[in-house]
């Protein structure tokens, strides 16, 4: 795993906020995908000073591999504390990979109403898409093979960091 440098997550977060600032109005709703996407969304929400509270989604029940993977032990409740209907939304995830998590998130969002628009922000786009999904706001693009994964971690002080993991056979 040595030899694949990962950027500083805090620097990516700052760059992502600056990309979004001129294009995301104060009435937009930010929705983070559990778990890392929620951490990123909370920090972006503060940086962008949005009016609507930050929302969170756990897409476990909406995944297309639910039957084969089963349910994770740490399923959380989705919370969207604002009206979705007619609102501009930004869906936030930590790492964009195949696009399947985002597809599941879009399905869940539309259960809450029909937004005016949904844009995607990702801290890292690691390539490998299986669906035609692209982020409008990206902190960094890193090409990795399927033998690796990137995980976002958060320490006790709230500092974010990217960790490279090697996938098992």
Q: Tell me: the pLDDT tens digits for 59-82?
A: 988 877 655 555 556 677 899 999
- Residue appearing with tokens 């990979």: 97
Cβ pair 135, 120 in contact under 8 A = yes
Q: How far apart are CA 127 and CA 82, in angstroms?
A: 32
Total-model pTM: 0.92
- The structure tokens listed for 139 are 């902190």
Domain assignment of residue 168, yes or no: no
For residue 69, tell me if it sits in a domain. Answer: yes
Rg of the Cα atoms in the chain: 15
Q: With respect to residue 36, please indicate whether it lies within any of the assigned structural domains.
A: yes
pLDDT exceeds cutoff 70 at 2? no
Domain membership of residue 154 (yes or no) is no
* Across 109-118, average pLDDT: 97
For 15-73, what is the HEC assignment? HHHHHHCCCCCCCCEEEEECCHHHHHHHHHHHHHCCCCCCEEECCHHHCCCHHHHCCCC
Q: At what angle do helices 36-48 and 9-20 cross, to 10 degrees?
A: 50
- Total number of residues shown for the chain: 169
Residue 152 lies in a domain: no
Q: 116: which DSSP letter?
A: S
What ranges make up the beta strands (E) of the chain?
Answer: 29-33, 55-57, 88-96, 117-125, 137-141, 148-154, 160-166
Please count the other Cβ atoms lying within 10 Å of the Cβ belonging to residue 136.
Answer: 16
- The enclosing domain of 136 has a CATH number of 3.40.50.2020
Q: In the prediction, which pLDDT does 149 show?
A: 93
Supply the range of the domain harboring residue 113: 9-146
Model confidence band, residue 132 (pLDDT cutoffs 50, 70, 90)? very high
Q: Could you tell me if residue 89 is inside a domain?
A: yes
Asked whether 91 and 33 are in contact (CB, 8 A), the reply is yes
Residue 163 inside a domain? The answer is no
Whether 90 maps to a domain, the answer reads: yes
Domain count, the chain: 1
For residue 13, give every residue at least 6 positions away whose Cβ sits within 8 Å of its Cβ, in sequence order, or none: 40, 43, 44, 47, 123, 139, 160
């Amino acid at each position: 795993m040595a030899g694949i440098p990962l950027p500083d997550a805090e620097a990516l977060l700052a760059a992502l906020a600056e990309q979004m600032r001129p294009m995301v109005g104060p009435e937009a709703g930010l929705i983070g995908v559990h778990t890392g996407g929620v951490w990123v969304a909370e920090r972006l929400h503060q940086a962008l000073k949005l009016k609507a509270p930050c929302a969170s989604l756990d897409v476990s029940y909406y995944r297309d591999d639910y039957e084969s993977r089963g349910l994770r032990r740490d399923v959380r409740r989705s919370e969207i504390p604002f009206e979705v209907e007619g609102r501009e939304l930004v869906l936030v995830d930590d790492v964009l990979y195949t696009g399947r998590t985002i597809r599941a998130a879009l399905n869940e969002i539309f259960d809450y109403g029909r937004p005016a628009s949904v844009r995607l922000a990702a801290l890292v786009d690691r390539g490998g898409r299986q669906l035609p999904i692209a982020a409008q706001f990206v902190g960094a693009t890193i090409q990795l093979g399927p033998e690796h994964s990137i995980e976002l971690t958060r320490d006790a002080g709230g500092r974010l960091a990217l960790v490279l993991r090697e996938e098992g056979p």
